[in-house]
A and B are shown apart, each in its own frame.
Chain A
Amino acid sequence: MPDMIDITLDGRPLKVASGSTILDVAESQGIRIPTLCHDSRLEPYASCWVCLVQVEKAKGFVPACSTRVTPGMVITSGSSEVRGARRMALELILSNHYGDCKAPCTLTCPSNIDIQGYLGLVANGKFSEAVELIRRDNPMPAVIGRICPRPCEGKCRRNLVEEPLNINGIKRFVADLEAQSGGMKKRPVPAPNGKKVAVVGGGPAGLAAAWYLSEKGVKVTVLEAMGKAGGMLRYGIPDYRLPPAVLDTAISQMLSLGAELRTGVTLGRDVTLEKLRAEYDAVVLAIGAWKSRGLRIPGENHPSVLSGIDFLRDVNEGRPVKVGDVVAIIGGGNTAMDAARCSLRHGASTVTMYYRRTREEMPASDAEIEEALEEGIDIQYLAAPVSIQAEGDALKGLTLLKMALGEPDASGRRRPVPVEGSEYTVPVDTIICAVGQYPDTKLLSALPGLVDEKGNLLADMDTGRSEVPGVFAAGDLLTGTDIAIRAVAGGKHAARAALAYLEGRTYSRPKEFLSRKSDFREPTTADFETTPHAPRAHPTVMEPERRKRTFAEIESTLTMAAAQAEAARCLECGCQDVRDCALKMHATEYEAVATRYNGETTVHPVDESHPFISRDPSKCVLCARCVRVCLDVQAIGVFGYINRGFTSVVAPSFGVPFGEDTSCISCGQCVSACPVGALTEKLPARKNVPLPETAVEGTCTRCSVGCAIEYRWHGSLFTRIVERNGPPNFSKLCKNGKFGHEFLNDPLPPAADLEKARAAVSAALAGAKRPVMRISPYLGGEAIDAFLQAAAKRGIPVRAAGLEKVDARWSKFLSQEPAAAKKGARELLVLIGDIGGTNNVAFTEAYRQRRAGSAELWVLGHDDEVARRAAKRVIPDAAQGISEALKTDAAVIACVNPQTAPAGVLEALLASADKLQVRLYWGSRNAGYLFAKQAAAAAAPDLYLDVGVEEPTNGVRRLAWGKKRGDEELFIPLSREHWILGRSHPTGLPSVEHGKLDLKALQEAASLI
């Protein structure tokens, strides 16, 4: 029991254990002190200074992680001075932390879809996970996947290599694949939370708001003025770009969580805002921008001068439209473009677009401009209409003025200025004018405070929250005409704002610190010189001659192979550690500004030479946790500091590539120690990708130490293993534990027909004289026991697979009671053979005990540099070492792996079995248990019943229960969970997921015997 002393922390008088650090004390009081360099596995170090606190009478700040409390100490951990200094520490670190938290594509996307995430999933063949990931931020992937002008692709770093990724094409692919394979995964309708929200407008913003509100159990009513929902998607976008069926599916999906759609309900006519406010708990306005701007030139009121949006609406509604032979389109946006292409499809022979700036300023997307040109549409730039001449019902001419580009205007675009005397007139039959749209805010003016006297909506652009409580806005109404994904994002944020309002909170978009390379040095083509070129995947597009006469969809979906290959082109710009990064977390909390101390930034190449670990020294914060964990926990010391001052770096000795450092045993300790993304695991998948993960606690199955671990998954994609801080490993792992679980991404075999299998097993057993069951010691205890029982019932002898060569006499030590410990004597752990190689965590735990002073450590029968560094004595002759150990006055504990023990060890241990304690370590978790259950098997078996075993049979017949089909005559799949979960016998640790194991299926599979 440590002495208790009195201290004061942030004004609170406390009694705390002497010897604890300020950080320990603060943690126990629930006061969060940020730190980067502190690691509970390691001695305090104090390098990052992010944990600094004030201590009365101390000369300066002190690091909380390594300052131990003293009686009467008065500590201040949360003053503005302290917070300011911590923020400076973070900002200094950030000023030399060259990396992107998130990829530019995601940051560019108006709805911040996790693009890198879904590209990675597609590359890894996880298509349904990909579409679900998209749906988090975009519930209409098939629609957006067709019509998005793709601002993300403009920022794709692949532009610096050759061409950007076809991001939207991949989105469309996964969405269409889902549609072909049964549609959106059915979701349970969320339990109602008793709240009702009216959404006015059934376009992308309104539908998105409905989706995100219904997800949380809100009863949503969508009021749509038109005959069908979809808004501009339906009435503004022609079918050849977005087939109505695709839209219909998307709408029904977005309403599938319980939202009700009422069409033909117009605000102001059928329902008033006041009434909605009275009947509903909140209102989301998403009425779009349906009013066309006029040209304000003489002659524009002629019946053959059409408004672009009205024209498109007629086309999309299937009403008869009539355009003349020669059509002039005024404007350069997407509406103008759609109007032009629809005119062509409705019989015009000459379609000319007139735009008053140049192609560079033209808002329509490049792809569309290209397609329009291919279809024969002429685009006249720098032409502004001045008047329209008509003769009765017929238009005669359109007079235009030539323009030149002048100085940039407020929007940053160069302002067109008329060229004097450049007027000219062209013949024309129909004019379609698409120079802009605006929302009809007159509908909203009935509610005081919602719009100002000029008709502008009074609402916050980030959240859609209006000045009227409980009324929110989204989509074009809020932003002015913009692209669909921005409307979806608006719906998402308005829904969140409304939800917050319903709970009495105020929503603001989460402010998250983001490190950006572009703050310091924008990547250039030079950074990608060594990146192999790979051409972009293009979908097939209908021939211009064919498509210009049809409204059928003109672009196809990428094939699976093309989409996967395309996704694999992703350069993985976003940081692998973005979800775990301590620097990002602290920077967010302290509102740090990365560019506050802008100056020289050191940029190093990323070191990918290691098979399991990626090393990006540009992100290193020099906390030295990797240096220390490697030396102090593993006794190896791969890393060290190189250089001095600002140029200091942490690197493998002599700066060799990480993969060439022969001392590294790939235990992954450095990765788990690294607080940032400087050291990250290469995921056991084809493509590295940071994803939201679910953690499943379990026990490592790779050896008998039984380390506490977490399996991390994204859907069905196994992403990585993370250590847990508990016995027996206390956060330590070895190469097998950290990186040896790739098999979890192997595809699962299809289920077997149990009745057929039962007959086959019976037949095989009936025909066999000397059947043997071989069970894998890698399996969980439940599976092993089930099959042991089945074997016992049938009297079939059992063998522990892989342990055939282990001397049976080792089993004496399986049940051996610990030798009477010498009272008061220190423990002496003798590791026999290469325990470090086969059961590394047992080795490092012994080393930790030695360092902590709780035990002494010898290594016997094995000699290398690490052994010499970690152990007090290294004796190559194991038998001699045992006898020397027994001569000491310590309580001797022999740790030995029977599978790798040197010759003579067994005899030596048997000879002195009463004088020491023996702990057996095995190459797989249940080996010891299974070894003890073995029966003497008949020689020359004629039938193998292999449970989880994939070993050769040398021609003997085999029936197999397992996770992977081989050449066996009968294969019954076992759930993957039986390998990764379940009981571990040697540690006695119950499976933390015991309740989730499918024991019924297991019993069924075993009962076939």
Chain B
Amino acid sequence: MSARAEVAVGMSSCGIAAGARTVFEALSTSVRSKGLPWSVVSTGCIGACHAEPLVEVRQPDGRRFLYGNVDEAKVESIVSGHLQAGAPVAELLIPADYPYLAKQRRIVLANCGVIDPESIDEYVAHDGYKALRKVLNTMVPDQVVEEVKKSGLRGRGGAGFSTGMKWTFAKDSKSLTGKKFVICNADEGDPGAFMDRSVLEGDPHAVLEGMLICAYAIGSDEGYMYVRAEYPLAIKRLHIALRQMEEQGFLGKNIMGTPFSFQLHIKEGAGAFVCGEETALMASIEGRRGMPRLRPPFPAARGLWDSPSNINNVETYANVPSVIRMGGAEYAKIGTEKSKGTKVFALAGKIKRGGMIEVPMGISLREVIFDIGGGIIGDKQFKAVQMGGPSGGCVPEKLADVLVDYDSLTATGAIMGSGGMVVMDESTCMVDVARYFLTFIQSESCGKCTFCRIGTKRMLEILTRITEGKGEEKDIAELEELAARIKVSSLCGLGQTAPNPVLTTLRYFRSEYDDHIRNHRCAARKCKALIRYHVLPDACTGCMLCARVCPTKAAHGERKKAHVIDQETCIQCGLCFEACRFDAIEIRTGREAGLAISAARMTPGTSSGGSHA
């Protein structure tokens, strides 16, 4: 649509981290010095993070060419070859049928990597605020809620509650304070998740427009964007967006000349994971420690400052303008029977093409991982994918054909979650993974509920024992018992889902636990206490490299003679293994590593707490 000649550089956090700023400057300098009629612009994240920095050449004729992995050197050939000579540099181009992009369906991310997120004009030019105009001018609140209901949109924050229903509750709730609030939850805290960040950095107005539509629908005149302070670029772009909205009459009194007024605050969260829980988030906005409280009352009845409040996450709000523009019925055509629309995922881990993707509901996990993600790095064996962060669970390879929809994923023991997808290969120890996520949960528990605060700690201690080869047969039963009780005896989602990583790994990878406990064997060779490094004398050339990197002088030997590793002093750091150029170092585990396994492990009795007096 832009008739201008543009070179757009992806300038979200991911791009910048990969060197987009340097590329942007190099492009600008080069274009300027050569006096070329191209403008260099910044845009949000197009999603192909594995190929950052990304540069898109948008020709006045409407044709677009995407270059990936651009660096300063490549800038020159793009400028001279493409911009100057008009011939796209074929060897640097990401092909138009690039499978990473081909299988996606971009609704939420439609503008990401397309428009300049710091320009409201570009947003407006891309149908921005059309939906708001439509609801303000042609719809009563009931109709708006009805339309959202019709779309089948469900909360994208994880739980998947019907957005239309939620809005209905907030709309129908009587306010004792005379206020209602609209809150956007942008406290994205799952390890490996960056959907909210990318959307806010790439298309902030879409989210804000969704919030305004919600406010109109439920009768609110004030809202909060709760965004974690660790997202400075998102916060900066939100501030720019708010300023521009005010300037153009999309925010404040009598928006677009209608009776509808709305003001919006940005609240920077201090980085507590639990503040993603809605009641904790509201406590945090109110200036208290972010700790969840019992629901009911739900926020729709009594929320922020005792007023009815509607809380949705970033992606949910970002869907709303599309729902209104397309109409609920049209939107509902995308996806499956019970899960409508698309879902944004952050694809990470041992995957060839990581990044942010948006796929229609109902696509299979295997398609996501292999067709879009290109499979596993180094073509290793795909083992499992962790869905939904620490509150989620892992889906094993054998269930990879499961469809991406709320209910199918829940049936596996994992959850849709907010969209984190961490892919694991054969070199991942599932006990260690469970321990990792539980460590995260334990340290992020707000400390209020007994089961979450102490129960997860005891689970973590058991897992740690198992990874250290100190596990006992009874540990599994104890893990399961604790997990079962923690799930049903915690106030908020954090506690209720805390045991999930353990439960799903136990469900699908029980043998790995048994192997750790019974055989002191970590098949993935990750658990340090269960592995031993050995030099293969036949392969060792005596190059002495291992001896040089070894921090404890455990690896030693004479030049040109096979080296040995002293097991007493070896700390299993793995530096020798990394350093060896001849594959002469082997990692052994279990019996082959000579780890003693006692036949009958005694279960120490618990002494009675009772006493006579």
Contact = CB atoms under 8 A, between A and B. Distances in A.
Interface of A: 44-50, 52, 59-61, 63, 66-68, 85, 88-89, 92-96, 102, 107, 112, 462, 509-515, 519, 587-588, 591-600, 621-622, 624, 640-641, 643-646, 648
B609 A593 contact: yes
B33 interface: no
Nearest to B465: A599
Given A67-B294, A92-B455, A61 B489 contact: yes
Given A509-B612, A591-B610, A47 B457 contact: no
Contact of A63 (B294, B482, B611, B613): B294
Contact of A510 (B450, B607, B613): B613
Listed residue (B296, B482, B489, B491) with the most chain A CB atoms within 10 angstroms of its CB: B489
Interface in B485-532: 485, 487-491, 496
A596 to B, nearest CB: 6
Please list the 3 inter-chain residue pairs (A to B) with the smallest Cβ-Cβ separation, ordered nearest first.
A648-B447, A60-B488, A509-B612
B607 A595 contact: yes
Given A44-B294, A85-B485, A597-B454, A622 B448 contact: yes
Contacts of B613: 102, 112, 509-510, 512
B447 A643 contact: yes
Contacts of A640: 289
Contacts of B461: 599-600
B490 to A, nearest CB: 8
A201 to B, nearest CB: 23
B612 A511 contact: yes
B457 A592 contact: no
Contacts of A66: 294
A3 to B, nearest CB: 17
Interface stretch (B215-223, B437-445, B554-562): B437-445
Which has the most chain A C-beta neighbours within 10 Å: B445, B608, B609, B610? B609
A92 B443 CA distance: 17
Contacts, number: 141
A510 B612 contact: yes
Contacts of A519: 607, 609
A94 B458 CA distance: 12
B230 to A, nearest CB: 16
Interface of B: 272, 274, 289, 291, 293-294, 296, 442-451, 453-458, 461, 481-482, 485, 487-491, 496, 606-613
A48 B455 CA distance: 12
A513 B609 contact: yes
A54 B457 CA distance: 25
A47 B448 contact: yes
Given A60-B488, A112-B613, A648-B446, A641 B458 contact: no
A600 B458 CA distance: 8
A450 B450 CA distance: 51
Given A46-B491, A510-B613, A644 B454 contact: no
Contacts of B274: 644
A540 B108 CA distance: 91
B489 A513 contact: no
Nearest to B297: A68
Contacts of B491: 46-47, 63
Contact of B457 (A112, A511, A515, A645): A645
Given A67-B294, A112-B613, A92 B446 contact: no
Nearest to A92: B454
Given A595-B606, A644-B445, 10 more contacts: A46-B294, A48-B450, A49-B449, A88-B481, A92-B455, A519-B609, A641-B289, A641-B447, A644-B447, A645-B453
A591 B610 CA distance: 7
Nearest to A463: B612
A39 to B, nearest CB: 15
B607 A93 contact: no
Contacts of B609: 94, 513-515, 519, 587, 591-595
A102 B609 CA distance: 13
B296 to A, nearest CB: 8
Contacts of B458: 92, 95, 597, 599
A591 B611 CA distance: 11
Contact of A645 (B291, B444, B608): B444
A511 B610 contact: yes
B270 to A, nearest CB: 11
B302 to A, nearest CB: 12
Contacts of B608: 593
A645 B443 contact: yes
Contacts of A85: 485, 488-489
Contacts of B496: 59-60
A640 B448 CA distance: 12
B215 to A, nearest CB: 29
Contact of B451 (A89, A462, A621): A89
Contacts of A643: 447
16 contacts: A46-B449, A47-B491, A59-B488, A85-B489, A89-B450, A92-B450, A96-B454, A107-B611, A513-B609, A515-B609, A593-B609, A595-B607, A597-B454, A622-B450, A640-B289, A644-B274
A515 B458 CA distance: 19
Nearest to A85: B485
Contacts of A49: 449-451, 489-490
Contacts of B454: 92-93, 95-96, 597, 646
A61 B444 contact: no
A648 B289 CA distance: 12
Contacts of B453: 622, 645-646, 648
B489 A462 contact: no
A63 B295 CA distance: 11
B450 A47 contact: yes
Contacts of A59: 488, 496
Contact of B442 (A63, A93, A592, A645): A645
A652 to B, nearest CB: 14
A94 B607 CA distance: 14
Given A645-B443, A646-B454, A513 B449 contact: no
A643 B445 CA distance: 10
Given A46-B294, A63-B294, A641-B289, A512 B611 contact: yes
A593 B604 CA distance: 14
Task: Tell me which of B447, B454, B481, B488 has the highest count of chain A C-beta atoms within 10 A of its own C-beta.
Answer: B454
Given A509-B612, A596-B606, A646-B442, A60 B449 contact: no
Contacts of B442: 645-646
Given A60-B488, A462-B612, A511-B610, A624 B448 contact: yes
A881 to B, nearest CB: 26
Nearest to B272: A644
Contacts of B488: 59-61, 85
Nearest to A68: B296
A530 B414 CA distance: 53
Contacts of B487: 60
A95 B488 CA distance: 20
Contacts of A600: 457, 461
Contacts of B294: 44, 46, 63, 66-67
A68 B294 CA distance: 11
A747 B73 CA distance: 94
Contacts of B612: 112, 462, 509-512
A462 B442 CA distance: 44
Contacts of A646: 442-443, 445, 447, 453-454, 456-457
B610 to A, nearest CB: 4
Nearest to B478: A597
Contacts of B449: 46-47, 49
A107 B607 CA distance: 16
Contacts of A512: 610-613
Given A597-B454, A648-B447, A88 B485 contact: yes
Nearest to B462: A599
A139 B613 CA distance: 16
B437 to A, nearest CB: 14
Contacts of A112: 612-613
